Amino acid sequence: MSFITKYCLLVNSYFSIYKRFYKDFNSKYSFAKRNLKKTLECPFELSIIQPIEFISPYTKQSQIQNLKLAANKIEKYIILPNQIFSFWRIVGKPVTKNGFEKEDINHKKIQDHGENLRQLSGIIYYLSLLGEIQTLERYNYPTDIYSEEQRIYPLGSDAYISYFQKDLRIKNNYTFAIKFKFIVENNHIKGSLFTEKKIFPNKINFKRTDYKNYKEILTRINRRTVAFSKYKNLK
């Protein structure tokens, strides 16, 4: 990749981030705010457990550290009725000055901008589907890189993120508060949605159609299509 191409991509990236900040600043959105003083009892729980998706054998410790750091930030937020949860507004830019560790890939330290946090955003999205929380913004991975034997979560339940260019945003459409909590262990991550009042988990159907070079997923809840995802096949 030439210097000019890299420069153009960098400029485009900064422009996209600025545009997002400007749009949010001028919007009427009410974003969830960090609140350390107020404690709310949210005794009801929906949860899922997944094995951690390690990028390479060299990234295990840095991934666990980064997942714990991002999870800790998210847990400090209570999402009140009509408030919006934005992954990147809460987690911040995943760089070393914010406490995130670089990825050690093939013994080279690489600064990642969301790769090892995408499992966390996917769990939040999946919990939102289970709890029928409104999704305002979500992207799927462009390519399905797994075989059925390797797959650790349903195709269509992922949430692809890239710092402030591709965000995960959900809105608390209930009349009571909600919050997320996580347990990150050596090989597994448990994500939980806690609510002030009891809600019952949805039955989710990820309806899949395979084509020659790609596949499509219709995410259906109670016979309603709530999301569409398209994935290229891995060549």
End-to-end CA distance of the chain: 22
pTM: 0.90
* C-alpha–C-alpha distance, residues 28 and 50, integer Å: 36
Task: Tell me the backbone φ, ψ of residue 31, rounded to 5 degrees.
Answer: -85, 150
Q: Which of 155, 80, 146, 150 is nearest to 122 (CA)?
A: 155
Classify 106 in phi/psi space as left (phi over 0), alpha (psi -120 to 50) or beta.
left
Q: What is the pLDDT along the chain (235 residues), one digit of tens a residue?
A: 565 655 555 556 656 666 776 677 777 789 998 876 667 788 999 999 999 988 777 788 889 999 999 999 999 999 999 999 999 999 999 998 999 987 655 545 555 556 779 999 999 999 999 999 999 999 999 999 898 999 999 999 999 999 888 999 999 999 999 999 999 998 999 999 999 999 999 999 999 999 999 999 999 998 899 999 999 998 8
Burial 167-184 (b: 16+ CB within 10 A, else e): bbbbbbebeebbbbebeb
pLDDT at 69: 96
Per DSSP, the three-state class of 225 is strand
Give dist(CA 107, CA 138) in Å, integer: 33
* CA–CA dist 140, 125 (Å, integer): 11
Taking alpha carbons only, the member of 204, 205, 206, 182 closest to residue 193 is: 182
**Single-letter amino acid, residue 144:** D
β-pairing, 224-233 vs 143-144, is: parallel
How far is the C-alpha of 124 from the C-alpha of 114, rounded, in Å? 15
- Residue 107 is predicted with a pLDDT of 47
Q: Which residues pair with 233 in a beta bridge?
A: 144
HSE-CB at 120 with a 13 A cutoff on CA atoms is 30
Report the C-alpha gap between 158 and 168 in whole angstroms. 10
